[in-house]
Amino acid sequence: MGTKKDLTTEENKKRKAYWIGFAIAFGISILLCIGTLFSIQASLKLDWEESKWRILTDAFTIPGVLYLMAFLLVKVTDFGAFDAIVYSVRLVWNVTFHSETRKTKLPSNYRDYRLQKAVKERTSASFLLIVAAIYAILTVIFLMIYFANR
């Protein structure tokens, strides 16, 4: 068992990784929002003054929905939805390219693989949900302004 100092260091590493993930996700979402904003305005040839609230609503919806879907995909993966596929592909890879399959780190059967995955600690991906919620709130605000100015 680790000492209190070891646990604090491990907690700090997890917290730092979480905030780095949040910053990267938020930065990518800003770039995605700006790219969507310009592509909507350019492709639909809309006048900014007439339809700025519609454009902003659409531009903020895209990152919000994408990050919500990414969070849901991570959660489904955490429950083991794709474990059978991953195990099968890894097994085929090892059988094809390794001379002795059982000397690899892959467990001998799927049940052991599932048990090994269940014991492994999962990292939190809630920052994806937070980014999605921020964009969803902004989308609702822009949507209300859009309908108020119609």
Tokens, residue 148: 């108020």
Q: How far, CA to CA in Å, does 2 sit from each of 6, 23, 28, 89, 99?
A: 6, 30, 37, 36, 39
How do residues 8-34 score in pLDDT, each as one tens digit? 888 888 889 999 999 999 999 999 999
Cα–Cα distance for residue pair 67/135, rounded to 1 Å: 9
pLDDT value of position 102: 66
How do residues 90-139 score in pLDDT, each as one tens digit? 888 888 887 776 677 888 888 988 888 888 888 888 999 999 999 999 99
pLDDT value of position 13: 87
